[in-house]
A = this chain, B = another copy of it.
């Protein structure tokens, strides 16, 4: 696991515990509802930066709830719980950087400022959603059946007057991590454009540094999806729900 750079400071520049982004690495535990589909590569290239090359059209869309803590601020989970829970919706496109295979997410909506800014620093194309909602079951709710074939999961992402994404998964059978499509590396683009000529600007393709990956509670099934992103025609898709944990320590610049 790469060390976060010594020079990394809080962002924006604010002393103390109310900073937007704590020092990493950052740990994640998430409950996913994912839909795997094939989009039209000629449309998908419009969603991916020039340094990446779209593959065969394989894509994923998901909504999830994430519990996240910075290694430097584990106490926030009890002292500032609003800094440790968010929901996320995203569309990812399989692509290559040179010989390296991975996934680039043209859009990743989140529900909190800190996940927005932290993600942008790491190279994710994050945006803030007004509402991300997704199916949650509860083991003690007397009206809900236990997870079994036929159970439906759904979720959506709203921003302004638009439904950015909605999806559903009808689960059929338990599975394991190896049943989930694999996309390779997670790509990103760190980017800080200038607003005037005297300014510096920054744009660098990156690979997100993920470690400690673990997946559990996989159920496989059928998925359906609508999104405002222009992915072209969507081919019949599969879906899955699962839990995942991982650590992100930053992102490494990709050199051609």
Chain A interface residues (CB < 8 Å from chain B):
2-5, 7-15, 18, 20, 24, 26-31, 46-47, 49, 66-71, 74-75, 77-85, 106-107, 113, 116-117, 120-122, 124-128, 130-131, 133-144, 151-156, 158-163, 166, 168, 189-202, 204, 206, 209, 212, 214-216, 228, 243-247, 249-253
Q: Decide: A195 and B5 in contact? CB cutoff 8 A.
A: yes
Chain B residues, CB < 8 A from A166: 161
A73 to chain B, nearest CB (A): 10
Given the complex, which residues of B lie within 8 Å of A155, measured CB to CB? 81
Mind listing 6 A-B residue pairs with CB under 8 Å?
A: A5-B197, A9-B193, A14-B127, A28-B141, A68-B141, A161-B166
Given A122-B195, A140-B245, A202-B192, verify A77-B47 contact (CB < 8 Å): no
Interfacial chain B residues near A29, Cβ < 8 Å: 137-142, 144
Q: How far is the CA of A138 from the CA of B136 in the complex (A)?
A: 14
A11 with B78, Cβ < 8 A, contacts A136-B67, A136-B85, A141-B245 known: no
What residues of B have a CB within 8 angstroms of the CB of A247 in the complex? 142-143
Contact of A216 among B77, B140, B245 (CB under 8 A): B140
Closest 10 CB pairs of A and B: A29-B138, A140-B245, A27-B143, A29-B141, A196-B250, A113-B128, A195-B250, A78-B152, A192-B192, A67-B138
- Chain B nearest CB from A168 CB (Å) reads 6
A46→B15 contact, CB < 8 A: yes
Quick one: copies of this chain in the complex?
Answer: 4
Complex Cα gap A168–B75 (Å): 12
Chain B residue, CB-CB nearest to A243? B140
Per a CB cutoff under 8 Å, which of B4, B69, B74, B136 touches A195? B4
Contact A18 B228 (CB under 8 A): yes
Q: Contact at B85–A133, with CB atoms within 8 Å?
A: yes
Measured between alpha carbons, how far is A80 from B70 in the docked complex, in Å? 32
Measured between beta carbons, the chain B residues less than 8 angstroms from A71 are 143
Looking at the assembled complex, report how far the CB atom of A14 sits from the nearest CB atom of chain B, in whole angstroms. Answer: 6
Task: Tell me, rounded to whole Å, the shortest Cβ–Cβ distance linking A186 to chain B.
Answer: 14
